[in-house]
Structure 1
Amino acid sequence: MDYGSASPVDARVLESMLPYFDKDIGNPSSLHSAGRKARRELEAARAKVANLIGAPNPKSVIFTSCATESNNLALRGAAMRYKDKGNHIITSSVEHMSVMNTLKDLQRSGFEATYVPVDKDGLVDAERIKNAITDKTILISIMYANGEVGTVQPIKEIGGIASDKKILFHVDGTAAVGKVPVNVEDEHIDLLTLSSNDMYGPKGVGALYIKQGIRIMPFLLGGGQEFGLRSGSENIPGIIGMGKAAELAQKEMIDDGARLIWMRDRLIENILKLEYTYLTGHRTKRLPSVASFRFSFIEGESIILQLNDMGITASTGSACSSKTLEPSHVLIAMGLRHEEAHGSLLLTLGRYNNDEDVGQVIEAVPKVVTRLRALSPLYPKKG
């Protein structure tokens, strides 16, 4: 129940990768036949990723090592390339830390950032984005969906605003691509971050879509691989795996999504029967795979540790998951008090979950919550 942290590599993906570890080992920059074969496979994978996101030109896809690198390349690359036009960047208050911390670093270099608030469901108001635009705004960066609470943002509406104002629009699609349909052309997306492992591909591979005609500054320099935007020998097995994962996602996403929605809603319906229990994130504008809750009077860390003892892996937005003493910045941005945010539970479903798994969680969570509340001095005892 923690696919949001790490997903298994699909067996079909692994099979596609294996020959490129020990047999087909050519470097795509080489001119010999082994190198030319590696180049063909690299470009085939690029085309599969482009097809998944509706990109008309596969050369718009740049392979990276992960979504964090893609976010850094998008934000730093765009900011430095267009700094002569302005220094203002707009984002939301619930972005991933690879966006938040990159923007903080850019602010130390003289850029300005506006962090647009969200509502109680984690939704960004497109009008607030529009109202934050100044004559110095060069970039808007909004995640497609939040992996912690599942809320899906009004990307097409925000993209339309950015397009009308001729402002670059970056979208962190890590949590969404491969789970819900994403179309860069229809949604006016100029830069899109993708993650391989979040769609059952290998770890250590990501991609950045860059709309044709848009130029950004590279920050990893070397031999000029990936059209000069991301130097370094390409991870051919990983890239082939990401391409296969994208191909499978395009074919199976709708059916997978329907199955996940059924399981997700069964979790939500049953867990919300517990008193002092609340759903986090938007009820309907939500990723198919995410069921997220908060429980009053108890700590999220205790919940996940006890669930782990019962054979269930889960996550929490509180301290132990963020490696700090602070609760989730996402939940705080949604208006929760610190003590409320500390009682969070995140369940993320995936391709290999089944009804039996859901039933096990529905049986386990009430037992854990009841046991912890009985120990809590904050819980109002009855009788």
Structure 2
Amino acid sequence: MAFRVRVITASEHAAFNATQPAVSFLQTPAWASVKSEWGSQSLGWFDDRGRLVGAGLVLYRRLPGFRTSLAYLPEGPVIDWVSDDLAGWLDPLVDHLKRSGAFAVRIGTTTAACTWSAETVKSAIADPEITRLSDVPPDSVDDTADRVRTQLRDLGWRPPKEEEGFSAGQPRWVFQVPLAGKDEDQLLKGMNQLWRRNIKKAGKAGVTVTQGSVEDLPGFYRLYLETAKRDHFVLRPFSYFPAMFEALLAEDKDRIRLYLAHHEGDLVAATVWIRVGGHAWYSYGASATAKREVRGSNAVQWKMMTDALAAGCTVYNLRGITDTVDKNSPHLGLIQFKVGTGGEAVEYLGEWDLPLNRLLYKAFDVYMSRRG
């Protein structure tokens, strides 16, 4: 089937997303307001009967000194990725973006390729001979992923190389907790003994978890600064967070939440929770160095998971991990913390690039890498 791709309104885009079981929050029209340093368009795919059957948020980043841009669809577009004719979906997109002056296109398919259970991940961590999870046979493999991968390669798309790219990408490896068909007891029983003990310990210590508001973001940011200094990650400016809350709440009054864990009046942990349809994300987190023993981080995660369950979500996504299980890697602690939830590590097909002007594509890559 031949599809037409054209610009649609934000309301048309939001209405289409509402018909889907789940859509990445990065593919909501509201996200364009969060990424205000990029240009943006909402695009729609129309079939031969004029029906809107796909949608995508495109972000445009201008190459300095040129009248041309990278066209980026983070974790999108929302199309039929299991189709045997991806060319029918992607070629009209590329044609539109060429006319819009793009020198390259980056898409982010959310097709899951492989899944490793918590038990498999723990066994890999315990094995001194294994340094990467990708060296371990997965518990499940999606045959659809191979078909998608083959089609993308045949169409000239290519995945960014490991540790390279525009420094604008989304994680290919994530850790998530399946929620479908579970109740709270089953969710708790699926966690490891340490997580269950820490959740119980937080309750006994008197940790309380509540939902905050935009007015509480300064408190969250103070913890965020403390966490960044301790864990050595790159900070976002404070202004990013009020802008994100304003944009996402304008689209849906329950799209984003701020959770606050207090102990005897002290803020000990704070997190940001985002939900679209049946998918909930742990988006940002921060914790105090003091009072680590009261386990506020475990308490706030448990509250977000149970709230996602109560909201009818089928997946709670703890976002990015790396595939390292190397005992000497600084990233090992992250996967160890997340694996305690009893969820699963998932490798997605991730992001794929289509250079339309190879010279400018390379120049932009160099420019972004120098920006850090």
| Greater helix content | 1
Q: Which has the higher contact order (CA 8 A, sep 6+)?
A: 2
Query: Fold match, TM over 0.5?
Result: no
So what's the TM-score if we normalise by structure 2? Answer: 0.29
User: Per residue, is there more strand in 1 or in 2?
Assistant: 2
